[in-house]
Each structure stands twice: as structure tokens, then as C-alpha cells.
């Protein structure tokens, strides 16, 4: 994570300078001082490149003079319409232009303090790289960007940074987990890494297979039984809200998913290392919430398993008994995430009696067919919770789209020999998966299921992340809690 500092607005005399430019391309503040010091080189470059400060525009100017070796600028659109979201994306864009610079100065003196903080957060998020396994990179190919000084005369800018930094660190924890290869990040290894977050003040409990067997976790353990790597469930508690009921976040943590006996095609199976991205998001969100000392009670629970084919693996046609006592006919062992969630959700209710529950899972390919990679699917039994999640997602750029649920879809998972079956056929596949999970939610308990299969991993660079793990869900969950704190 880059080192971010804040300082009064003065013109730097060396290094790299980053500018936030409103539409019209007219420089002011530190930008105008830099233009004057370089005898108008910045303005001339703007004119030559037709850079006018439109949102998403960018330009790089090399060696403009006055001791500056590089000036980069990002457009933020009309001055009266600049938001923290726009500022974050601009900060991320600037960071992508500064990879060859060890440090830079960001002139944020012409935007609000909140927008200055947001730009710094965007730059920090975009600077993330996962390259611990790259051993032959040449020095010139390695990114150098490590420090950012943000120029702002607003006290709000620096005051907002500790919370923003905690959020960035939470996102980085998630990206690290999701990016790790599956031979490294087994259920036990992931549980071990989560335990290290006790330093943030989280109360962490790890349940092993004997403990889960004693609690009749037949659905979760059925998924795990084909693997040589034992399952774990990890509970993370943050107690910052007095006597109020906690909010519960639950994550699917399949550290590798072959599909089991219902094995997946070989092409693309390597992507299934990130089938634990829902659990990863819960871990990152809990780290962010604890890191900024949220005035709320929150509990995060993750079920960690590996889904493998073997002589001991679960078979299509098996019937398992969940912790709730409901029986499940397993017709497809590749529909395993919902089995993991069934037991963890039930435990969350029985142990913590939460005010509401949100689960996250890379659950179905069907949600990608429905929504592509732009939105995650939102399924819920509660309109108020749905609206809160939609608003939280929109405010941080982690977009959701509410999908339908109902009794007609529920009929598709009716089993001939058990209480339910774990698949409902191809029609409405993401919906019937949500209907399945909903059967383990107590009546009257506000609950939402986020299917993040299309948003957990990016195949191209994004405004706030490079190709790879996005940490989708971390900021959304944190914003949901922050909004509740504000009330």
C-alpha cells in the first residue's frame, strides 16, 4: 500500500505532479502555479492533446520544466458535479500513470477535503499489485510508485484518511486472499491468516471438522469430505456498538472448486481458486470495520472448504442433513456453495441472533449470463435492506441489481425424496440458488444474498484495480455499516 501524506498547497519543485482538472481545462491553484513556472507548457500540452478535463480524460506531460520530471492530469468533469466517486476514479487513473515514479504530489487544493481524501483512496486502491511469485521481473519492469503527498488546505482531507486507509487495507487483504494459488490457500491456511487479524481487535474463533460435526454441519462437511484438506469455519466478531444486535456477514469460502464428482470442464478451471471471494470479501470488510473502529456490532462468518473428487467425495444422489435439520438431495456436487452457506447461515442465527444477515458468494454462472460483469445479483426477503444495499453499492461503485424471488421459483427445488434438492434446473439458476439459501433463513429475519460471481475477478484493468481480484463487497459492506452508524 502506498504511503499517503497530506500537506498544505504549495508548488513542488521536483518530482512528479498529479492534477485534478475540472471540465474546461482551466488550471487554478497549484496547477496554475505549475503552469506559470513551466512557461505555459502544461496549457500548451492540454491544447495539443485536446485535453479539456472531461471525466475519464487523462494526459501525461514529460519534463515540462521547473524541476518537474512528469505532470499527469485527470479530468473530473463539471466543477459543480464532482463527487467522491468521480474523485476516486480520477485518483485511480492518476496512479495508473505514475507507476514509473517512486513518489508523486497530488494537487487536490481545488476540490473539497472529502474529494481530496477520495482521490487518495482511489490512487491507493489502484496501486495494488500481487506479484510475490514473480521472481524474474527486471527492475525496469517493476512498478515504483510508493508514496503520495496530497496537497490540500482543508482539515477534512487529512482527517478522513485514517478511515479511508483502513478500507484500503481491508480491500488489499481480500485481494491477497483471492489472488493466492489454491495449493497455498487451503482452508487451514486461510483460517490461519484470518487469525492474524486479532491484532485489529477482532475476536476470532476457528471451528475444525470435529467441532462442526458435533453441530451437525452435514451440508458443509459433505462438500469437504472428498478433499485431503480439512474444512474450517471462522467467526470474526467486532463489538463496537454496545448492546445492539449484531449485523452478520456470511461468506462462501471454497478455496478451490473442481465441481467434485460433477467435475467441471478443464478449460478455465484454474479460475476456481477465487471461488472463495465471498469469504474473502467478508474478511476484508471485517478488517476495514475494525481498522476504522466502527461504532457497531458486526460478526463475520466464513465457511472454508475445498471441493475435490475422490473415493470419499460426495456423490450425485446423496442425501445430507443440514445443521437446521432439513435434508438435502445433492443432485449436482458442483452446486456446493449453497450447501456451505446453509450450515453457516443457520449457525449465525442460532449463535448471534443478528439484526440482519448478508451473505456473499461466487455462487452461479447464471448470474453472469443475466447481469454480465457490471452488477452483482441481489436477492432479498426485505425491501428496506435491499434499498440500503443498493444505495451503499452505488455510493462506492460496487453496483447491485435486485433479482426476483418467489414461491414459483421455490417449487423448482422440491425433491422427491428429501426436503429439497440442491439444483432447480437451468431456468432461473441464480434465483433457485437464492431460494435454496432462503430456506435456511428464519422467518422474519432480514436477509440478502449477493451473487458476486461476475464481479469478484476482472479480466481487464478497472478504475480502482488492475486485472485480477477486485475485492468486490468490501467497501459495500463497510458503507452499509457506516450508514447504519450515521443513523
DSSP secondary structure code for residue 160 in this structure: T
C-beta neighbour count of 271 within 10 angstroms: 14
Euclidean distance between CA atoms 1 and 44, whole angstroms: 34
Q: Is 411 a catalytic residue?
A: no
- Quick one: which of 119, 7, 14, 35 has its CA closest to 74? 119
- Phi first, then psi, for residue 387 (nearest 5°) are -65, -40
Q: Which of 403, 414, 456 is nearest to 254 (CA)?
A: 456
C-alpha–C-alpha distance, residues 247 and 266, integer Å: 39
Catalytic-labelled residue, pool 175, 338, 421, 479: 338
Beta carbons of 90 and 76 less than 8 angstroms apart: yes
In the chain, helix, strand, coil percent, each to 5?
A: 40, 20, 40
Q: Counting beta carbons within 10 angstroms of the beta carbon of residue 40, is it exposed (0 to 12), middle (13 to 18) or buried (19 or more)?
A: middle
- Are β-strands 297-307 and 247-257 bridged in parallel, bridged antiparallel, or unpaired? parallel
Grid coordinates given for 51: 485535453
**25 close to 52: Cβ distance less than 8 angstroms:** yes
307 burial level (CB within 10 Å; 0-12, 13-18, 19+): buried
Question: φ and ψ at 37, to 5 degrees?
Answer: -65, -25
Terminal CA-to-CA distance of the chain, rounded, Å?
32
Pairing relationship of beta strands 247-257 and 420-421 according to DSSP bridges: unpaired
442 secondary structure, DSSP code: P
- The two beta strands, 15-21 and 68-75, are parallel
DSSP readout, 306-373?
EE--STTS--TTEEEE-TTS-EEEES-TT--HHHHHHHHHHHHHHHH--SEEEEEE---THHHHHHTT
Please give the Cα distance from 395 to 238 (Å, whole number).
Answer: 24
Residue of 44, 264, 295, 351 marked catalytic:
264
* 239 flagged as catalytic: no
Cβ neighbours, 10 Å, residue 354: 22
CA atoms within 13 A on the CB side of 472: 34
Residues with catalytic function = 264, 338
Amino acid at each position: 500500500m502506498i504511503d499517503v501524506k497530506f500537506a498544505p498547497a504549495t508548488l513542488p519543485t521536483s518530482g512528479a505532479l498529479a492534477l485534478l482538472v475540472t471540465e474546461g481545462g482551466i488550471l487554478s491553484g497549484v496547477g496554475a502555479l505549475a503552469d506559470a513556472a513551466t512557461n505555459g507548457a502544461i496549457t500548451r500540452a492540454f491544447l495539443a492533446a485536446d485535453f479539456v478535463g472531461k471525466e475519464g480524460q487523462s494526459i501525461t506531460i514529460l519534463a515540462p520544466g521547473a524541476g518537474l520530471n512528469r505532470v499527469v492530469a485527470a479530468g473530473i468533469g463539471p466543477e459543480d458535479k464532482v463527487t467522491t466517486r468521480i474523485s476516486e476514479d480520477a485518483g485511480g487513473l492518476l496512479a495508473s500513470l505514475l507507476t514509473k515514479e517512486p513518489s508523486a504530489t497530488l494537487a487536490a487544493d481545488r476540490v473539497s477535503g472529502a474529494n481530496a481524501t477520495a482521490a487518495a483512496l482511489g490512487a491507493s486502491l489502484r496501486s495494488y499489485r500481487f506479484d510475490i511469485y514473480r521472481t524474474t521481473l527486471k527492475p525496469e519492469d517493476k512498478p515504483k510508485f510508493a508514496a503520495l503527498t496530497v496537497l490540500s488546505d482543508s482539515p477534512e482531507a487529512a482527517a478522513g484518511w485514517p478511515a479511508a486507509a483502513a478500507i484500503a487495507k481491508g480491500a488489499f487483504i481480500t485481494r491477497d486472499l483471492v489472488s493466492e494459488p489454491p495449493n497455498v490457500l487451503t482452508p487451514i491456511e486461510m483460517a490461519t491468516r484470518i487469525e492474524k487479524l486479532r491484532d485489529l481487535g477482532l475476536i476470532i474463533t476457528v471451528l475444525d471438522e470435529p467441532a462442526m460435526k458435533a453441530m451437525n454441519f452435514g451440508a458443509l462437511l459433505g462438500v469437504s469430505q472428498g478433499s485431503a484438506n480439512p474444512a474450517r469455519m471462522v467467526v470474526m466478531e467486532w463489538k463496537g456498538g454496545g448492546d445492539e444486535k449484531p449485523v452478520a456477514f456470511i461468506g462462501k469460502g471454497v478455496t478451490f472448486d473442481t465441481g467434485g464428482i460433477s467435475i467441471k470442464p478443464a478449460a478455465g478451471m484454474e479460475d476456481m481458486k477465487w471461488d472463495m471471494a465471498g469469504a474473502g470479501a467478508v474478511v476484508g470488510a471485517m478488517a476495514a470495520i475494525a481498522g476504522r473502529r466502527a461504532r457497531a456490532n458486526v460478526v463475520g462468518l466464513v465457511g472454508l472448504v475445498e471441493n475435490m473428487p475422490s473415493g470419499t467425495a460426495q456423490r450425485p444422489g446423496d442425501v445430507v442433513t443440514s445443521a437446521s435439520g432439513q435434508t438435502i438431495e445433492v443432485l449436482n456436487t458442483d452446486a456446493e456453495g449453497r450447501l456451505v452457506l446453509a450450515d453457516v447461515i443457520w449457525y449465525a442465527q442460532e449463535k448471534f441472533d443478528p439484526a440482519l444477515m448478508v451473505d456473499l458468494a461466487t455462487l452461479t454462472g447464471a448470474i453472469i449470463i443475466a447481469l454480465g460483469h457490471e452488477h452483482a445479483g441481489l436477492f432479498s426477503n426485505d425491501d428496506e435492506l435491499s434499498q440500503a444495499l443498493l444505495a451503499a453499492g452505488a455510493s462506492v461503485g460496487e453496483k447491485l441489481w435486485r433479482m426476483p424471488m418467489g414461491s414459483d421459483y421455490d417449487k423448482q427445488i422440491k425433491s422427491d425424496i428429501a426436503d429439497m434438492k440442491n439444483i432447480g434446473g437451468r431456468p432461473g439458476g441464480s434465483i433457485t440458488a437464492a431460494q435454496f439459501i432462503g430456506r435456511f433463513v428464519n422467518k422474519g429475519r432480514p436477509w440478502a444474498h449477493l451473487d458476486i460471481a461476475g464481479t469478484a475477478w476482472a479480466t481487464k484493468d478497472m478504475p480502482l484495480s488492475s486485472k485480477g481480484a477486485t475485492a468486490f463487497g468490501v467497501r459495500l459492506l463497510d458503507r452499509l455499516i457506516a450508514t447504519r452508524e450515521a443513523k
